[in-house]
Amino acid sequence: MKIDLHIHTTASDGELTPMEIVKKCNEEKLDIISITDHDICSGVKEAICNNRYESLKIIPGIELSAKYKNGQLHILGYNFDLDNKPLNDICSLIMQDNTNRIHSLIDNLYDYYGFKFSDKDLEALFNRTGNIKRPDVARLCVKYGYTNTVKETFCNFFDPIKSKIVKKKVSLSPKECIEYILNANGTACIAHPITLKKDDDELKKYLMELQNYGASAIEVYHSKHQKEYANRLLRIANELNLLVSAGSDFHGEIVKPNVFLGKYNNDNINIDDITILSKIMR
């Protein structure tokens, strides 16, 4: 089977609509996918409701961001109740917070660099359905020729002014993220552990803490994980009795040009390693 349990659409910061993702996954002959947009359920709901490919199984998914001081802590949720009110309510608050921060980012891009976008493009950005994220603005910068790539936009323009952007008003702890997923009857999975910037011993200790909160899986196979690192994660997962997941973290060729649906740094992954399926396919 071909599996990809970490995919983004235009509902958050991906480039393809939910139905374009579904069509492309079918063309790539994927068997099981999960659309895991940031802090929003609408993309995966649309995909599930309109999926006409019997060979393609779509699992409900989401990616929540947690407070973390040294790197990025993202927590994936799988096979939860898409209509769970507390989860959708907190996602709505996060979305409004994100929108306010994007307004602040755009204002600062003008103030510090003179970057200006048309009223038409800004109206399209803020009136679309979904969660507006920084890659959406980065793509506008590339479109207008202010920068060449999304990565360059972040490094050379977003990062230097990040202290000027209005602060988050809604910020969830790791425990809160996991609880929202569990209370919606879902499975919590730690995304791309490489972004936690911990050595193996530190990572193992931290994962045990997240386990105590209710996390039960770890994303071993990911587009950022080289084979040797994935093998180390697999050993840790087995030692801690964590379920193993796999996801490309696909966004599209502009945001992540070398990330492809259903592909990792290890095309030879063993399907038997992906133990999370035994839980989220129920």
Q: Kindly state the helix (H) or strand (E) to which residue 64 belongs, with its residue range.
A: strand 57-66
Alpha-carbon torsion angle 43, 225, 219, 65, nearest 10? -60
Give the Cα separation of 167 and 170 in Å (integer): 9
With beta carbons less than 8 A apart as the criterion, state whether 40 and 130 touch.
Answer: yes
pTM: 0.90
Q: pLDDT, tens digit, for every residue of 261-279?
A: 998 877 777 788 999 999 9
Give the Cα separation of 40 and 71 in Å (integer): 22
Q: pLDDT, tens digit, for every residue of 71-124?
A: 779 999 999 999 999 999 999 999 999 999 999 999 999 999 999 999 999 999
**Residue 11: per-residue pLDDT:** 93
Q: Which domains does the chain have, with CATH numbers?
A: 3-89+171-280 (3.20.20.140), 100-164 (no CATH)
Give the Cα separation of 279 and 75 in Å (integer): 17
Q: What is the DSSP letter of 76?
A: E
Question: Which mean pLDDT values do the consecutive 10-residue runs of the chain (282 residues) have?
Answer: 95 94 97 96 96 97 92 93 97 93 96 96 88 90 95 95 91 96 98 95 97 98 94 97 97 90 81 92 82
